[in-house]
Structure 1
Amino acid sequence: MLKLNHTDNSKTTILIRLMVGAVFLSEGIQKLLFPALQGSGRFEKIGLPLPEFSGNLVGTFEILCGVMVILGLLTRLASIPLIIIMLVAFATTKTEVYIEKGLWELLHGSRTDWAMLLGSIFLLLKGGGYWSLDNKLMTDGK
């Protein structure tokens, strides 16, 4: 069973953490700053229920989890909502692209989505790495 604060000692995990965390932090801030384009307006356009609520909820989770991932604080726990966000994003935005424009356009248009999904899955499996608060808390507790 995965311990949510456990991590390995990899010193390179910080690169994945910074990439994943910075992108989600930025996207979350944009959802709240520009709701018509990135948040509730976009959610309404793609047919998600309660677009104002869900846009703000997703934006808030992206900000909070993005910061947690950057800091390496409960990295595994923070990655779970990010994985869910990416799976919903794929289901709601990429299916239509595939149907209308085909596989190659889908792959081209989803490259960032794949990077965020796979990066988040990596963090769920590995934890925050050597340079993380998870590691600091884990080693201080010994």
Structure 2
Amino acid sequence: MKVSTLPAVSTHAAIPLIRLMVGAVFLSEGIQKFLLPAEVGAGRFAKIGLPEPELLAAFVGGSEIICGALVLVGFMTRLTVLPLLAIMFTALWTTKLPILTNKGFWKMAHEARTDFSVVMGSLFLLLVGAGAFSVDAWMRQRRDAADS
């Protein structure tokens, strides 16, 4: 009996999917910090005890919007994911660690599933870059053509 397989696809063709996931999540979350400040912006930051919640929420929300959009188009991707990773590690420390200590591993794992996914996606983009279908690749091609 012959087992059918899917045709092989270049891994580079999948990179835009990771950029779409990471960029869309951050862009959406950043916008929500301004649209729903009590739930996910300054109100939430105050609830978990972060200093200067209004200022911090605006800074984090703006960073998520800008960096999320840059990841979506693939511009300065490796550099752009660094502040996003800092935001995620802070979020995990301030929101998921208390769940782990108070409610246990499985409750924390459930609550952290999106966080974990965007951290892994961001780390992937940090390691491999934006891929062929990106502003980074377009700029590299223009630079190489100008050098020739």
Q: How does 1:86-101 map to 2 (within 5 A)?
A: 86-101=88-103
> Structure 1: 5+ residue runs without aligned partners?
1-8
Q: How does 1:1-142 map to 2 (within 5 A)?
A: 10-142=12-144
Please say which structure displays the higher CA radius of gyration: 2
* TM-score, structure 1 as length reference: 0.92
Using the TM superposition, give the Cα deviation of residue 15 of structure 1 relative to its aligned residue in structure 2, in angstroms. 0.4
**Higher-RCO chain (CA-CA 8 Å, sequence separation at least 6):** 1
Using the TM superposition, give the Cα deviation of residue 71 of structure 1 relative to its aligned residue in structure 2, in angstroms. 0.3
Distance 1:96 1:73 in 2: 35
* TM-score, structure 2 as length reference: 0.88
Using the TM superposition, give the Cα deviation of residue 75 of structure 1 relative to its aligned residue in structure 2, in angstroms. 0.6
Q: What amino acid sits opposite 2:127 in the alignment?
A: L
Distance 2:61 2:113 in 1: 21
Matched residues, percent identical? 50
Q: Moved runs in structure 1, 4+ residues, more than 4 A?
A: none
Q: What amino acid sits opposite 2:16 in the alignment?
A: I
Match of 1:6 in 2: none
CA RMSD of aligned residues (A): 1.0
Q: What amino acid sits opposite 2:46 in the alignment?
A: E
